[in-house]
């Protein structure tokens, strides 16, 4: 058995042209738009990002990489498990904001557990937002009034297979504002604090400061790297809290960008990459490490140089020549490319050709299968059911990718890619769940649905919702900005893509293998969903 495993590992690494398993560092930014980085935004980017640009120059830049959702937690869940977020059931024991509870089953098969099977030492540093179970004083649902911060987390990164972890439970604008190391709370969580943007006041450690969080995280990452040795390879997941609001650059970074405080925060995000690369070099790991950098979705439309969250604020930066979404339409929350297409940069000396680019479709949910192949770990039949390895593209970026289709979501609608076609299962930007914060993503739901319904006489049936004018079809090969809806001209293409999505829902997986079960009933469009505008439910005869 041992000889077979050794042979498998040798063959796997030989296929990629390397002699041994590399260390793996994955850096995930928070709310960073594809156009916020110089090597993607070009002249439309007014922020200096020399370290991410250098990473791309020394490695590979993917140009058709997508998250599976244009909002934080669903993306992170798919990255961590290789399974689409919508297959999981509802959260348990969930409180407000950073008190969000776990979704059952998310810890069963994770990046960390797969890599540990391959002999890796695993670490997680940064924003968590994958659910925790906290100890409460009354045994009831966790929240700001009953959590016992002197007792450890019952469920967190440790249960996901990480040997070491240092986390903030949610986003930087979501209380509790306190760190936990290896499931143990740090400091005295006895204060009440809140920050700019939404000023959500809640439990906080006495010495917690928002502008110190980013530096705290990359120092923790440096410490993790410094403690590694040659006995086994390591995996580090560094989840940054920037440039997600509150826009809080460190003291040393204020005023560094000509664009303003938003640019300052992006520049410090870029500096985090520099700190990681310097730590790898200082400890002799530079040439033995695969480093990847990406973002959890597009830029938030309410973020910018005004510290308070302001609807459509990113438009003000566009007026100054900076386009966080690059050439694409939409932002965070939306169904359009500006919310779903993300930067993905990879550097692996001796394997990835320097200064290369790849135009093949990849999803961030593909990291599980990719890292498994690179490490020599064999995925079990039920693991990573929506993950397809793109390891071969690292060595040969011009090769044909395996992935042909990808399921994505806005905050309230499905989309599916099939080759260069993209079908959005909604009219408008699919942002009706939180329309005020999503302002800037036009058209918003009420407007879009009203216009679609106005073009249809008489009652509306549920099957009609899967046809024009209620869906959008784009040919991204000639229309990457999604300006021309082709759904009415190509009804058969629409039907084929709806059927493809339905098959992947029913099969419990989008990869080859035995049929699996979703953890809940999944509908492409649920007529009884209260997030649908009332006008839609009325025309459907749903109360």
Q: Give the residue-averaged pLDDT of 68-87.
A: 98
10 located within any domain: no
In this structure, are 417 and 387 located in the same domain? no
8 located within any domain: no
Residue 435: its pLDDT value, please?
A: 61
Residue 458: its pLDDT value, please?
A: 81
In this structure, are 347 and 478 located in the same domain? no
* pLDDT single digits (tens) 129-178: 999 999 999 999 999 999 999 999 999 999 999 999 999 999 999 999 99
Q: Write the DSSP string, 5-43.
A: HHHHHHHHHHHTT-SSPPEEEEEEEES--GGGSHHHHGG
* pLDDT single digits (tens) 303-350: 999 999 999 999 999 999 999 999 999 999 999 999 999 999 999 999
| CATH code at position 42 | 3.40.720.10
Considering only the C-alpha atoms of the chain, give the largest distance between any 2 of them, rounded to a whole number of Å: 71
In this structure, are 396 and 438 located in the same domain? no
In this structure, are 426 and 376 located in the same domain? no
Gap between the Cα atoms of 133 and 180, Å rounded: 12
Q: Give the residue-averaged pLDDT of 179-201.
A: 97
Residue partners of 230: CB distance under 8 A and separation at least 6: none
| Rounded (5°) CA angle 206-210-212 | 95
1 located within any domain: no
pLDDT-based confidence at residue 434 (cuts at 50, 70, 90): low
278 located within any domain: yes
Q: What is the pTM of this model?
A: 0.95
Gap between the Cα atoms of 230 and 225, Å rounded: 12
Residue 528: its pLDDT value, please?
A: 81
Mean pLDDT of all residues in the chain? 94
Residue 326: its pLDDT value, please?
A: 98
* pLDDT single digits (tens) 119-132: 999 999 999 999 99
Please determine, for residue 87, whether its predicted confidence score (pLDDT) is greater than 50.
yes
Least confident range from 224-238, 261-275, 332-346, 519-533: namely: 519-533
* Domain boundary pick from 371, 406, 441: 406
* Domain boundary pick from 353, 387, 406: 406
In this structure, are 37 and 168 located in the same domain? yes
**The token pair that represents 434 in the structure block:** 């939180």
In this structure, are 324 and 461 located in the same domain? no
Residue 19: its pLDDT value, please?
A: 46
In this structure, are 36 and 123 located in the same domain? yes
| CATH code at position 445 | 3.30.1120
Q: Give the residue-averaged pLDDT of 484-504.
A: 98
* Domain boundary pick from 406, 441, 460: 406
State how many domains the chain has: 2
Residue 527: its pLDDT value, please?
A: 85
In this structure, are 149 and 135 located in the same domain? yes
Gap between the Cα atoms of 485 and 52, Å rounded: 34
Please determine, for residue 45, whether its predicted confidence score (pLDDT) is greater than 70.
yes
In this structure, are 136 and 153 located in the same domain? yes
6 located within any domain: no
Residue 433: its pLDDT value, please?
A: 52
14 located within any domain: no
Beta bridge partners of residue 501, listed in sequence order: none
Gap between the Cα atoms of 168 and 152, Å rounded: 14
What is the helix (H) or strand (E) element at residue 347, kind and residue range? strand 344-347
Query: Given the structure tokens 């939306």, which residue do they identify?
Result: 334
196 neighbors 123 (Cβ within 8 angstroms): no
| DSSP 8-state symbol, 193 | E
Please determine, for residue 409, whether its predicted confidence score (pLDDT) is greater than 90.
yes
Residue 9: its pLDDT value, please?
A: 40
In this structure, are 381 and 417 located in the same domain? no
* pLDDT single digits (tens) 248-288: 999 999 999 999 999 999 999 999 999 999 999 999 999 99
pLDDT-based confidence at residue 4 (cuts at 50, 70, 90): very low
Long-range contacts of 115-119 (CB under 8 A, 24+ apart): 115/24, 115/235, 115/371, 115/372, 115/375, 115/377, 116/161, 116/163, 117/377, 118/9, 118/21, 118/372, 118/375, 118/376, 118/377, 119/21, 119/232, 119/233, 119/375
* CA 512 and chain centroid, separation: 24
210 located within any domain: yes
In this structure, are 211 and 353 located in the same domain? yes
Higher per-residue confidence, 3 vs 459: 459
Please determine, for residue 7, whether its predicted confidence score (pLDDT) is greater than 80.
no
Q: Which domain holds residue 167?
A: 21-406
Side by side, which strands form the sheet with 60-62? 184-185, 180-181, 164-168, 121-127, 234-243, 23-30, 289-295, 344-347, 60-62, 356-358
15 located within any domain: no
In this structure, are 394 and 466 located in the same domain? no
């Amino acid at each position: 058995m041992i000889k077979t495993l050794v042979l498998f590992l040798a063959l796997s690494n030989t296929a990629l042209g390397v002699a041994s398993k590399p260390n793996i560092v994955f850096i995930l930014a928070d709310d960073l738009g594809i156009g916020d980085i110089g090597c993607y935004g070009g002249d439309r980017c007014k922020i200096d990002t020399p370290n991410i640009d250098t990473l791309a120059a020394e490695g590979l830049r993917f140009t058709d990489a997508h998250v599976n959702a244009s909002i934080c937690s669903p993306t992170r869940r798919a990255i961590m498990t290789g399974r689409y977020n919508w297959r999981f059931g509802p959260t348990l024991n969930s409180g407000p904001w950073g008190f969000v509870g776990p979704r059952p089953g998310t810890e069963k098969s994770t990046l960390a557990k797969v890599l540990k099977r391959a002999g890796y030492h695993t670490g997680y540093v940064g924003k968590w937002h994958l659910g925790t179970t906290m100890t409460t004083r009354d045994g009831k649902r966790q929240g700001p009034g009953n959590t016992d911060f002197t007792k450890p987390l019952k469920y967190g990164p440790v249960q996901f297979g990480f040997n070491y972890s240092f986390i903030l439970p949610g986003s930087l604008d979501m209380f509790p504002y306190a760190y936990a190391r290896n499931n143990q709370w740090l400091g005295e969580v006895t204060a009440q604090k809140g920050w700019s943007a939404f000023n959500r006041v809640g439990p906080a450690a006495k010495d917690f400061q928002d502008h110190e969080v980013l530096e705290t995280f990359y120092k923790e990452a440096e410490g993790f790297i410094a403690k590694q040795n040659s006995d086994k390879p390591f995996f580090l997941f560094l989840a940054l809290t920037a440039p997600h609001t509150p826009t809080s650059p460190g003291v040393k970074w204020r005023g560094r960008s000509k664009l303003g405080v938003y640019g300052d925060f992006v520049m410090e995000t870029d500096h985090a990459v520099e700190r990681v690369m310097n730590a790898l070099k200082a400890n002799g790991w530079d040439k033995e490490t695969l480093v990847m950098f990406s973002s959890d979705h597009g830029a938030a439309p309410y973020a910018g140089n005004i510290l308070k969250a302001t609807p459509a604020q990113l438009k003000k930066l566009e007026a100054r020549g900076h386009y966080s979404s690059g050439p694409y339409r939409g932002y965070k929350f939306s169904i359009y490319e500006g919310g779903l297409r993300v930067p993905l940069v990879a550097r692996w000396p001796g394997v990835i050709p320097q200064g290369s680019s790849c135009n093949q479709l990849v999803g961030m949910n593909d990291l599980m299968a990719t890292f498994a192949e690179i490490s020599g770990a064999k995925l079990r039949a039920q693991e990573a059911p929506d993950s397809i390895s793109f390891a071969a593209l690292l060595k040969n970026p011009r090769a044909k990718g395996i992935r042909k289709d990808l399921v994505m979501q806005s905050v309230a609608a499905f989309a599916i890619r099939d080759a260069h076609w993209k079908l959005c299962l909604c009219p408008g930007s699919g942002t009706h769940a939180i329309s005020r914060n999503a302002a800037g993503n036009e058209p918003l739901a009420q407007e879009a649905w009203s216009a679609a319904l106005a073009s249809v006489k008489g009652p509306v049936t549920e099957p009609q919702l899967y046809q024009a004018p209620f869906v959008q079809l784009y040919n991204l090969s000639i229309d990457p900005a999604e300006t021309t809806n082709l759904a009415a001209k190509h009804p058969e293409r629409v039907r084929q893509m709806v059927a493809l999505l339905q098959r992947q829902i029913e099969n419990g997986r989008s990869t080859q293998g035995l049929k699996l079960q979703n953890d809940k009933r999944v509908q492409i469009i649920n007529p009884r969903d209260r997030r649908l505008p009332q006008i839609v439910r009325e025309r459907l005869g749903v109360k």
